Structures are given as structure tokens and as C-alpha cells.
Amino acid sequence: MIGPLLEDPRLRKLSFTGSTQVGRTLIEQSARNVLRVSMELGGNAPFLIFDDADLDAAVDGAMLAKMRNLGEACTAANRFHVAEPVAEPFAQRLAERMGALTLGRGTEEGTDVGPLVDSEQLGKVTELVDDALERGARAVVGGRAVDGRGYFYQPTVLDDVPSDARLLKEEIFGPVAPVAAFDSEEAAVAAANDTEFGLVAYVYTSDLRRALRVCEGLETGMIGLNQGKVSNPAAPFGGVKQSGFGREGGRVGIEEYLEVKYVAMNL
């Protein structure tokens, strides 16, 4: 069934931010009136750390990218692909930072981490972590829901996450950081691209040539290079693949709402 808004002949443009599943439905329904469409859909952001990266800066960036809105953000880092020589040190440092966060009600002073949005999301996060642990991952810190009232999940860092773990494929939307090691630049890019989504990625390296190669190879609409934040009102915001199409922000975002008209004159 098509909603009355999409059936209205006055409508010229549809812009949607939400899940890929709902986005597909809206794209299909908008086709009847041939609407222009912009879709900002799901994400599965990889966070790549190479062995020449500033590890302290990478941990700072990881905290920013992972814990924004408790991980319940489309731009939140979903999985951490780390060069083998620094994978364990990174996981330990990140675990120290995550473990030091105070979990509690947002109305209480000193609280760093509040509850997830609802019981369904809490169940999903629990299911994804349990799946990874059953497949051989190790909980460096956290790893379970908090007993009692509310939808609280411990800030969690998982190490030695196998490639078949569901949380490397699915959007976690919670305070969980899975760490998987890689042994080459090619393997890192391949692991980052091994997803149907392509909204944002994060890359940490001190090698400019490598940075340019990796950024070129990543199948994603946005990249944070040596920084854990990409959102900027002056920059184009949006993704590729199943993360959608079209852009918000900057000149490109304005053009999404404009039509090009060509007039050939002979006066």
C-alpha cells in the first residue's frame, strides 16, 4: 500500500533517513510518480588501524567514533580492523577507556553511558555478542547486559573476533567494539569492503601514500582519516551500496533539491 503523501502529485522529492529495509520500500513506492529520491540508510562502518598509526590518537578516535550516542548512530564505528602487531595493544587500551565509563541513568551526575533505546535493541546487541563469543572471540571488557531495570549493556571490547561472527556483518547499534586483526593492507581493505553497506569508514595511518591508496580502495561515501568524526554541515553526507544514494550538506546537498533547466535561445 502506498501512503497518501507519496501519491500526491504535488510531491517532487523524497528524502529519508532510516533503515535499508524501509528505504527499499520507499524507493519502490516512489517509483509510481517517478520521484527524485535521496536515501541515507544503514551502515557498518569499518575502523582501520595500521601498524604505523599513532595508537593513542587511534584510541581517542575510536572512542569518539564508537561511543557517539552510545553507538546508536549510523556513523558509529561498527568493527575495528587492526594490524596484527598492534591489535592486542589497541584492544587493551580501548578496553581500559571503555571499562572506565560510568553506566547509569542520564539524569544522574557523572553518567557516561545510558541505556539502549528499547528491549529489542538490547536483545539484538546481546545476541550479536553471544554469537561472537561462541565462535571464539574474547571479551576484554564487558560482554553482557546489566541485570535490573532498563536496557543497559556494558561497554564492551571483544578481541580475536573471527571473520564469520555476525557482528562484523550486521550493524550493532550499541556500545560494543569488536577487534579483528589483519596481516596486510590488501586484507584490511578487503575486510572493510566485505559488507553490503558503504556509509562511512575510518582510517588511521601516518603514511600519506598508504592513506591515499586505502581511501581510494574503500567502497564508502565518507572517510575519516586520522579522525573519529566526519559530520560537517559544509561537507556532503551520504553513502554508497546499500547505505543509499544522494547527499545531504554543502553545495551538493542543496543540488539534491534543485532541477537543471536548459534553454536554447534564438532571439
Enzyme catalytic residues: 40, 74
Q: What residues contact residue 179 under an 8 Å CB cut-off, 6+ apart?
A: 80, 82, 87, 90, 91, 94, 157, 158, 159, 160, 161
Q: Kindly state the helix (H) or strand (E) to which residue 62 belongs, with its residue range.
A: helix 55-67
Q: Would the CA dihedral through 252, 14, 202, 105 be positive or negative?
A: positive
Q: What residues contact residue 211 under an 8 Å CB cut-off, 6+ apart?
A: 203, 205, 225, 226
Does residue 77 contact residue 65 with C-beta atoms inside 8 Å?
yes
| Sheet (strand 138-141) strand order | 138-141, 156-159, 176-182, 77-83, 45-49, 200-204, 222-225
Dihedral angle over CA of 90, 95, 101, 105, nearest 10:
120
- Rg of the chain over CA atoms, in angstroms? 20
